[in-house]
A and B are shown apart, each in its own frame.
Chain A
């Protein structure tokens, strides 16, 4: 791993260790009270989920255009990030909603489209795992649909009837709530970057291992 990886990992760990104190100091929201503080991990998870879906789709498009396996490895790592952070979003959301809305789940446009986006990321990984030779290109095509779903997830709360907070909430946050959110966003994005680097390294080493086995077969 590169030299900067270890200090950056320590920085990320420090951000996560400090985050509960920063969140605890944030004020309570007037109507939802204590449970609204789920927001500081829920929204960064959701943003990382959407970002990973976009990275997966754009890397897949570049892989389809150039055939460079480096882009394919990036897409694979991003798809795993989308599955992981999508799961965090889809679990923390209902825990917040149970108290704030009185229900675990509603089939509104944002939650449903997020679930669809998460299932597309899962489908990508399942196809890569069990699709056999040539599944990289099929999976890359699927990833484009995952990316196309992202703008829909983002704007859905503004166009369809829902009790999900609108996109205007974040720009209107006071500093006392905006700072903890930015702090957690920095921690989550840094973690996504590090995990992607780690996962890409696994894929690179796997490709190297496959090449070694191939050369051994040719020698034998």
Chain B
């Protein structure tokens, strides 16, 4: 009798429907693969960060180089002026 009750319980558990949460998370079984030409919008790589990144990189590098060369020029010109003044003073003395 006990064995019969156990067997009925097992059959009942196995045949009872799955809880709704599990049914929602489990993907549907695919029966065929359907090719498409384009990815759906939510799957596509966004273009805007790449575009903005490219423009930002160009402008930052150009500005950085401009600042670097300007500072080099200012430093060299200051040194040339200082040495010129020293030479003139030494010539007078």
**A interface residues (Cβ-Cβ under 8 A, vs B):** 16, 20, 33-35, 37-38, 41-42, 45, 84, 87-88, 91-92, 95-96, 98-99, 191, 195, 198-199, 201-202, 205-206, 208-209, 212-213, 215-216
CB neighbours (8 Å) of A202 from chain B are 69, 72-73, 76
**B interface residues (Cβ-Cβ under 8 A, vs A):** 45, 47-48, 50-51, 53-55, 57-59, 61-62, 65-66, 69-70, 72-73, 76-77, 79-80, 83-84, 87
A34 to B44, CA, bound (A): 13
Would A41 and B76 count as touching, CB distance under 8 A? no
Closest residue of A by beta carbon distance from B59: A16
Q: How far is the CB of A196 from chain B (nearest CB, A)?
A: 10
Please report whether the interface of chain A is mostly helix, strand, loop or mixed according to DSSP: helix
Residue from B51, B70, B73, B83 in contact with A38 in the complex, judged by beta carbons closer than 8 Å = B51
Q: A88-B57, A198-B70, A212-B80 provided; 7 other pairs, C-beta below 8 A?
A: A16-B59, A34-B47, A95-B50, A95-B51, A191-B62, A208-B80, A212-B84
